[in-house]
């Protein structure tokens, strides 16, 4: 079947989205020590999972080794059904919206060198939520700020992160802003990793990979809409304009016979170069390598746009990026793509 016909067939499967109530307020509901859930008009929007590290069994340690954010469908007849994956199934380290690196190195206060500290898989490390320093919810948006200790291979904190996530609606789209400030406990640390195992990432529900992977396609600034079931990834041999320093990228997934497009917007002031990673089973994101000094904490900003349906061209995603940057400008405007 020709590619255009495949896309058209999927497009007709998607019913018209139901817009969120224009007058509904966001509301946070906390289940202490477990998760913070966001709703709007009585319907779930997102869940921030922040259980404390539990090392009682290997399974529990893995489940509680880092906080992450789950996202719900917020349209059609799928209210209350998850769009993202948790810690279950294959690749348990890939869960919802998450952030970490699999090759971190630093020298502690005693002069001991720590290498290959891994807050992605969290086998010899962890990210531990300590407290919420802010929560806001109103008519237009909702946000929280989570204080997170990054724990090293000696079970001691080597950095502290202040992670803010903000949620809002524009029409039928759900906007998720991620704003992180990471401060080392020691003079400096090196963040590094494999593009498939580091950075800021999104992982869709496991059914995407198990039932619909051949329908997943990616949209890129240079080449536009890609072929279903096909990924283009950065590697030393494929260091090109398709895989490096992309201002934005999108992934269209099929889940419960419904098409959803997730746009990933990367702020120009985030460290560069940025290396892209994508998987048709429903994960994509970017990573970078950078040295972070205690005297100059690292701030990164990203926006995800969850869109019910498909886009006709990449120009629509470029417009999302432009609109975001207008409200969150770079200091050096020449960095705009």
Instruction: Give the tens place of pLDDT for each residue, 152-162.
Output: 999 999 999 99
**Does some domain include residue 182?**
yes
Average confidence (pLDDT) over 210-217: 94
**Does some domain include residue 337?**
no
DSSP for residue 332 = S
Query: Comparing 134 with 75, which gets the higher pLDDT?
Result: 134
Tell me which residue has tokens 């994960």.
283
The predicted model scores a pTM of 0.90
Kindly report, residue by residue over 261-310, the tens digit of the pLDDT.
Answer: 999 999 999 999 999 999 999 999 999 999 999 999 999 999 999 999 99
| pLDDT for the residue numbered 10 | 40
Residue 150 belongs to domain with CATH number? 2.70.98
Contacts of residue 1, Cβ cutoff 8 Å, sequence gap at least 6: 9
pLDDT-based confidence at residue 331 (cuts at 50, 70, 90): low
Residue 119's φ and ψ, nearest 5 degrees, are -95, 15
| pLDDT for the residue numbered 8 | 39
**Does some domain include residue 334?**
no
Tell me which residue has tokens 């960095």.
335
pLDDT-based confidence at residue 95 (cuts at 50, 70, 90): confident
Residue 208 has pLDDT above 50, yes or no: yes
What is the gyration radius of the CA atoms in the chain, in angstroms? 19
| pLDDT for the residue numbered 76 | 59
Residue 33 has pLDDT above 90, yes or no: yes
Cα–Cα distance, 173 to 304 (Å, whole number): 10
Residue 22 has pLDDT above 80, yes or no: no
Residue 329 has pLDDT above 80, yes or no: no
Average confidence (pLDDT) over 183-212: 94
Residue 206 has pLDDT above 50, yes or no: yes
Cα–Cα distance, 241 to 246 (Å, whole number): 7
Quick count: other Cβ atoms within 10 Å of Cβ 272?
14
Residue 170 has pLDDT above 90, yes or no: yes
Q: How many domains does the chain have?
A: 1
CA dist 291 → 99, 111, 154, 267, 272 (Å): 17, 18, 21, 18, 12
**Does some domain include residue 183?**
yes
Task: Give the residue numbers spanning the domain of 316.
Answer: 3-328
**Does some domain include residue 333?**
no
| pLDDT for the residue numbered 255 | 92
**Does some domain include residue 255?**
yes
Residue 129's φ and ψ, nearest 5 degrees, are -65, 130
Do 212 and 300 form a contact (C-beta atoms < 8 A)? Answer: no
**Does some domain include residue 126?**
yes
| pLDDT for the residue numbered 195 | 82
Ramachandran region, residue 62 (left: φ > 0; alpha: ψ -120 to 50; beta: rest): alpha
| 16-44 CB burial, b ≥16 within 10 A, e <16 | ebeebeeeeebebeeeeeebbbbbbeeeb
Range with the poorest average pLDDT among 13-22, 109-118, 253-262: 13-22
**Does some domain include residue 46?**
yes
Residue 334 has pLDDT above 70, yes or no: no
| pLDDT for the residue numbered 328 | 78
Average confidence (pLDDT) over 105-129: 95
């Amino acid at each position: 079947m020709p590619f255009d016909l495949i896309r058209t067939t999927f497009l007709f499967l998607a019913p018209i989205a139901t817009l969120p109530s224009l007058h509904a307020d966001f509301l946070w509901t906390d289940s202490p020590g477990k998760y913070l859930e966001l709703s709007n008009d009585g319907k779930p929007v997102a869940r921030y999972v922040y259980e404390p590290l539990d090392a009682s069994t290997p399974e529990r340690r893995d489940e509680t080794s880092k906080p992450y954010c789950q996202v719900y469908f917020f349209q059609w007849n799928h209210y209350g059904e998850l769009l993202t994956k948790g810690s279950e199934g294959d690749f348990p380290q890939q869960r919802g919206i998450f952030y970490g690196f699999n090759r971190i190195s630093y020298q502690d206060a005693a002069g001991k060198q720590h290498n290959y500290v891994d807050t992605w898989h969290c086998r010899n490390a962890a990210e531990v939520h300590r407290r919420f320093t802010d929560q806001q919810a109103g008519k237009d948006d909702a946000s929280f700020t989570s204080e997170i200790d990054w724990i090293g291979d000696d079970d001691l904190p080597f950095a502290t992160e202040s992670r803010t996530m903000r949620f809002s609606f524009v029409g039928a789209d759900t906007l998720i802003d991620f704003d992180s400030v990471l401060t080392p406990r020691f003079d400096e640390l090196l963040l590094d990793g494999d593009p498939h195992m580091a950075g800021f990432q999104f992982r869709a529900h496991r059914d995407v990979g198990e039932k619909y992977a051949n329908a997943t396609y990616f949209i890129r600034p240079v080449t536009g809409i890609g072929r279903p079931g096909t990924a283009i990834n950065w590697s030393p041999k494929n260091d090109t304009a398709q895989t490096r320093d992309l201002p934005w990228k999108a992934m269209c997934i099929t889940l419960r016979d419904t098409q959803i497009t997730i746009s990933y917007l990367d702020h120009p002031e985030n460290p560069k170069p940025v290396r892209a990673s994508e998987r048709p089973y429903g994960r994509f994101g970017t990573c970078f390598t950078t040295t972070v000094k205690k005297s100059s904490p690292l701030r990164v900003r990203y926006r995800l746009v969850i869109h019910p349906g498909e886009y006709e061209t990449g120009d629509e995603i470029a417009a999302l990026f432009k609109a975001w940057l207008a409200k969150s400008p770079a200091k050096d405007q020449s960095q705009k793509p």
